[in-house]
Amino acid sequence: MKKVLMLDAFKPEYLKYAPYLKSLTKKYAHGRLKIPMGFVRGMDVFFNGQSNILAKFKRSGNLSWTKYFYWLGKFPLAIIINTIRLLKNNKEYFWLYNIPLKKLRYFDVCIKKPLHEGKKCKYKRIGKLDPISHKYGTKSKETIKCIKEIDNIIKKEEFDILLSDHGMIDIKETISVPRTDICFIDGTMARYWDKKPKINLKKGKWIKGNEEYGKYIFLANPGILIFPNFWNQNPDKGMHGYSSTCKEMDGFYLIQKEGGRKDISIEELNKILIKEVGYKRLFIDSQPT
């Protein structure tokens, strides 16, 4: 059984702080990994070939009952929601983050089970770098220290395929956006279902939406953080989830087979995974643009 090791938020530029991983690139096939826009979409494509997932939360009526109980507060409501999800064998914990409790009735988590479940591979995620680089930025001493720690962890790990799900970019500016009755404000996207508000298009652009993830979707330019948002109490210093044309969003991959550098897309890495582990590709609905 093949072993897949995922380094959350590791971008190719971090190799200079990871001497062991960099030494592996002298022998094995590796390169930049082009990731589609979105927050969990890269790993969905890696395991399933295609993905229609744009953000972690989508429009759903599954939590409509919370309109009667939002007054309980965040902690009691989280217990109730996740008890129900556990009874339904839903393995994705529902974090409430900074979502206004009155708006919970409109949303649900888009992933119901681990993406690697049912695949013929052993999967391990090292996730400590993502929150550190969000909090401190990509060039901070805290992030560099974390990269070095991960490099030491990799020395002890056995894997056939190593990859990261996205890169990270430092925040240069924050902007605020309007809130409507039915909206979800991510750090890089503002998604609306009821109406299209006025937003400064010098700071981003409107992209094609849909009923699940937002009829009207404003995507911020790389390096611009939408804040306040439904995630954070304080502004992040590093962020991902921007357009895939932004080089800073690239991930990294390495396959323990002899070869040099070749920059590829996550879709191409999915084909390699299929060839290595032998499961059939699972097609999902077409991707939103």
The answer to whether the CB of 120 falls within 8 A of the CB of 277 is yes
Q: Is the pLDDT of residue 285 over 90?
A: no
Q: What is the per-residue DSSP string for 185-243? A: E-SSEEEESS------TTSEEEEEEETTTEEEEEEEPTTEEE-S-SS-SS--SEE--S-
Please report how the helices 266-277 and 41-48 are oriented relative to each other, as an axis angle in degrees rounded to 10: 40
Q: Is the pLDDT of residue 96 over 80?
A: yes
User: Chain-centre distance of CA 75, in angstroms?
Assistant: 24
- For the entire predicted model, the pTM comes to 0.91
Say what the pLDDT of residue 278 is: 66
Say what the pLDDT of residue 91 is: 78
Instruction: Give the pLDDT band (50/70/90) at residue 119.
Output: confident
Q: Which residue has the tokens 């056939």?
A: 160
Tokens of 131: 């929150």
Please report how the helices 129-136 and 141-155 are oriented relative to each other, as an axis angle in degrees rounded to 10: 170
Instruction: Give the pLDDT band (50/70/90) at residue 288.
Output: very low
Q: Is the pLDDT of residue 280 over 80?
A: no
Say what the pLDDT of residue 106 is: 96
Tokens of 83: 């008890």
Q: Is the pLDDT of residue 251 over 60?
A: yes
Mean predicted confidence (pLDDT) in 84-89: 87
User: What is the largest distance, in Å, between two alpha-carbon atoms of the chain?
Assistant: 59
Say what the pLDDT of residue 274 is: 86
Edge-to-edge strand list for the sheet holding 189-192: 183-185, 189-192, 214-220, 204-210
Mean predicted confidence (pLDDT) in 185-206: 96
Where exactly are the structural domains of the chain? 2-54+113-170+243-277, 62-108, 173-235
Instruction: Give the pLDDT band (50/70/90) at residue 281.
Output: very low
Q: Is the pLDDT of residue 283 over 50?
A: no
Instruction: Give the pLDDT band (50/70/90) at residue 112.
Output: confident
Is the bond preceding residue 228 a cis peptide, omega within 30 degrees?
yes
What is the CATH code for 2-54+113-170+243-277?
A: 3.40.720.10
Burial code (b: 16+ CB inside 10 Å, e: under 16) for 28-58 equals: bbbbbbbbbbbbbbbbbbbbbbbbbbbbbbb
Say what the pLDDT of residue 279 is: 57
Q: Is the pLDDT of residue 97 over 80?
A: yes
Mean predicted confidence (pLDDT) in 247-260: 95
Mean predicted confidence (pLDDT) in 254-275: 93
Of 272, 285, 168, 151, give the one whose Cα is nearest residue 222.
Answer: 168
